[in-house]
Homo-oligomer: A and B are copies of this chain.
Amino acid sequence: MSRRDEIAAEARALLETEGEEALTMRNLAARIGIQAPSLYKHVSGRREIETLLAAAALKEISETLGSQPDLPSMGRSYRAWALANPALYRVATTRPLDRENLPEGIEEKAAAPLLQALDGDPDLARAAWSLAHGLVMLELDGRFPDGADLDAAWSAGLSALG
């Protein structure tokens, strides 16, 4: 494993174990056993680390979705992945990602299963993606009232679209 890969792996571990605000250059370096400026010998900056994380996350999400037979189970998988990796989901999804340094075609690949499940209708696919993203973000941000039945909201939304 190259140092660069190690950086990405440790960044992810840091994110998952200690939360988003713990992902700092110094924390990350310490975890590797290095000084923060040395990170710049392998990576152009914090932004690039986040891009690496986003790429990994998109890949995982697309694989998860690709193995599901229908729209409702895609929804369940999407939500489950996001709740299991909340900080990573945020990083991968929340900021504008710089497509320059992102592997070619990874976005299309992530979108493909959804598009297929909706008979190739791009408008419906975008709506479904947005619905899933919105539901996840609002849940992660604690925006729904305490007793809200989110399973029901997912079902209601996805069955209307599908």
A residues adjacent to B (C-beta < 8 A): 93-97, 107, 121-124, 126-135, 137-138, 141-145, 148-150, 152-157, 160-161
What is the predominant secondary structure among interface residues of chain A facing chain B?
helix
Extra contacts besides A127-B160, A128-B157, A130-B131 (14): CB < 8 Å: A107-B145, A121-B156, A122-B148, A122-B153, A123-B152, A123-B155, A124-B153, A126-B138, A127-B135, A127-B153, A130-B130, A130-B134, A131-B131, A157-B161
- Partner pick for A135 among B122, B134, B160, CB 8 A cutoff: B134
Q: How far is the CA of A116 from the CA of B95 in the complex (A)?
A: 33
In the complex, chain B residues whose CB is within 8 Å of the CB of A160: 124, 127, 160-161
Q: Quick one: which of A137, A145, A155, A156 has the most chain B CB within 10 A?
A: A156
